[in-house]
């Protein structure tokens, strides 16, 4: 394993998994997957897969105070009450404007049925909110992937009421040594409280800037650095923008390795277990209680990933097979426009957080897809 630093680790207890529509099978041999050429994989969505949530509600939820949505990449489900957490980049689109200039609450909680605003907070604390995670206690974690002199390149943990409980990283400072981040993308906590952060947003570019990273960093529940793994590259255990993180019921860490058009799956010591190639150029991940995987592809286009549609591909954590597909918004782009973040509530409704590519076609920051 490349670039691996370890001071100790705890294993999760395997909880078992269910299956969606097809028989479960064991994980494929990781070494076999590592030899696969992603450019040789064809889009499973081209086969006309079923769409489990065909009803599309654009501009589903409205921001406080009549604000207009900017772009976003983050949406998650509150595990306690089932409502929806998301963030807005304070009206900014992509990297322009946003929370460093417009001091409004970027983090918002919505009622999952009505879209009513239930809570909002975080004004003045961020530059570019990027990842969102709601832990088992209802605390809300946000990564900030850009920086100014005194903000950004951090991970912030909030109570459900918006009190800052923990900050990882040094606001406004970029670094690769323990305690610092360089464009953190996403954050997730394990059931034992361990914290995992994916770091390095610019690594998917053809010529990454000096000092760019592509790594996963683990912290203790108290925020103490434990270990990290990964560098920029396309080899096993390497990353070109580890854009999103999720755990399955076995405690395996799924990493959306966006620039490499794959999902890499690790144990919590950084050992590569499996690699999935059927989900496209993945920006966002969600794994439900039955280990169904929802992967949203927002970036497939003729320049980055030709002949693949954007949209949400659905399968099961047990194997690299896509069984369902939620199509993208229609646009002038033949590959469509889809969001960057995805989450699924207990009724199977799917929520997409609309990024800069899809914001106009979606007509708002959140799209809700419902069953018939």
pTM of the model: 0.91
Q: What is the DSSP string of 37-93?
A: -GGGPPPGGGG----S--EEESS-SPPGGGPPP-----EEE-TTT--EEEE--TT--
pLDDT tens-digit map of 284-342: 999 999 999 999 999 999 999 999 999 999 999 999 999 999 999 999 889 999 999 99
129 has which bridge partners?
Answer: 144
The reported pLDDT for the residue numbered 19 is 32
Residue of 72, 73, 99 whose CA lies nearest to 88: 72
Residue of 74, 298, 265 whose CA lies nearest to 187: 74
Q: What is the DSSP string of 255-304?
A: EEEGGGTEEEEE-TTS-EEEEE-TT-SEEEEEE-TT-EEEEEE----TTT
The reported pLDDT for the residue numbered 34 is 52
pLDDT tens-digit map of 205-242: 888 999 999 999 999 999 999 999 999 999 999 999 99
Confidence of residue 35 (pLDDT cuts 50, 70, 90): low
Output the average pLDDT for the chain.
91
Chain centroid offset of residue 86 CA: 12
Residue of 183, 179, 220 whose CA lies nearest to 202: 183
């Amino acid at each position: 394993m490349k670039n691996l630093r370890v001071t100790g680790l705890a294993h999760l207890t395997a909880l078992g998994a269910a299956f969606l529509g097809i028989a479960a099978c064991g994980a494929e041999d990781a070494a076999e997957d590592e030899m696969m050429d992603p450019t040789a994989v064809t889009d499973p969505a081209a086969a006309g897969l079923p769409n489990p949530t065909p009803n599309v509600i654009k501009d589903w939820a409205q921001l406080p105070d009549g604000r207009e949505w900017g772009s976003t990449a983050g949406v998650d489900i509150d595990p306690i009450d089932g409502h929806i957490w998301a963030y807005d980049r304070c009206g900014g689109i992509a990297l322009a404007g946003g929370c460093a200039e417009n001091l409004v609450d970027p983090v918002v909680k919505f009622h999952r049925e009505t879209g009513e605003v239930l809570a909002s907070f975080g004004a003045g604390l961020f530059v570019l909110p990027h990842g969102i995670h709601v832990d088992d206690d209802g605390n809300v974690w946000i990564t900030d992937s850009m920086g100014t002199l005194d903000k950004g390149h951090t991970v912030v943990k909030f109570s459900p009421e918006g009190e800052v409980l923990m900050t990882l990283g040094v606001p406004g400072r970029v670094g690769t040594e323990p305690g610092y981040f360089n464009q953190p993308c996403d954050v997730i906590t394990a059931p034992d409280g361990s914290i995992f952060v994916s770091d390095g947003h610019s690594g998917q570019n053809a010529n990454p800037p000096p000092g760019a990273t592509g790594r996963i960093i683990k912290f203790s529940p108290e925020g103490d650095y434990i270990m990290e793994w990964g560098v920029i590259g396309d080899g096993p255990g390497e990353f070109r923008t580890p854009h999103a993180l999720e755990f399955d019921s076995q405690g395996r860490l799924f990493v959306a390795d966006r620039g490499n058009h794959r999902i890499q799956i690790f144990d919590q010591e950084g050992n590569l277990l499996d690699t999935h190639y059927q989900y496209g150029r993945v920006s966002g991940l969600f794994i439900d209680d039955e280990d169904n995987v929802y992967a949203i592809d927002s970036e497939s286009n003729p320049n980055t990933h030709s002949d693949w549609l954007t949209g949400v591909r659905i399968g099961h954590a047990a194997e690299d097979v896509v069984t369902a597909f939620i199509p993208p918004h229609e646009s002038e782009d033949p590959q469509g426009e889809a969001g960057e973040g995805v989450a699924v509530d207990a009724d199977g409704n799917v929520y997409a957080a609309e990024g800069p590519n899809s914001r106009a076609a979606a007509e708002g920051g959140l799209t809700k897809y419902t069953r018939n």
